[in-house]
Amino acid sequence: KAGVTQTPRYLIKTRGQQVTLSCSPISGHRSVSWYQQTPGQGLQFLFEYFSETQRNKGNFPGRFSGRQFSNSRSEMNVSTLELGDSALYLCASSFKLPGELFFGEGSRLTVL
């Protein structure tokens, strides 16, 4: 069974731009969640989707948004990028709640 796939793996943007990250969960998993990982803040929860509905949202500004499609694939968008948005963005899928999370390799975003 294929794992969680995240694209792109690496990207460089400049301040003020926007970025869209994509995540394809493991087949059959309907829950997708997103996390931001930085050396200073560790792993921070962004949001969680289940069957196209946002179930939970972390403490991030409105510049961070996401959605889930009918095939469970998910995207997250960050608008008006700031230097502090540089991070590894991880997507995880889960078969059920509160089951274990299966993570993708992450998308490393660098904002210049």
Partner 1 sequence: AQSVAQPEDQVNVAEGNPLTVKCTYSVSGNPYLFWYVQYPNRGLQFLLKYITGDNLVKGSYGFEAEFNKSQTSFHLKKPSALVSDSALYFCAVRESGGSYIPTFGRGTSLIVHP
Rule CB under 8 A: which residues touch partner 1? 4, 6, 33, 35, 42-43, 45, 48, 55-56, 58, 90, 92, 97-98, 100-106
Instruction: Please answer whether residues 84 and 78 qualify as being in contact, where contact means their C-beta atoms are separated by less than 8 angstroms.
Output: no
In Å, how far are 6, 16, 32, 85, 99 from 72, measured between CA atoms?
A: 13, 29, 8, 25, 17
In Å, how far are 44, 54, 71 from 2, measured between CA atoms?
A: 25, 24, 15
Nearer to partner 1, 87 or 92 (CB): 92
Q: How far is the CB of 27 from partner 1 (least distance, A)?
A: 17
Q: How far is the CB of 90 from partner 1 (least distance, A)?
A: 6
Nearer to partner 1, 4 or 109 (CB): 4
Nearer to partner 1, 13 or 102 (CB): 102
Q: How far is the CB of 108 from partner 1 (least distance, A)?
A: 8
Q: How far is the CB of 83 from partner 1 (least distance, A)?
A: 21
- What type of residue is 81? L
Q: Is 102 exposed, middle or buried (0-12, 13-18, 19+ CB in 10 A)?
A: middle
Nearer to partner 1, 20 or 103 (CB): 103
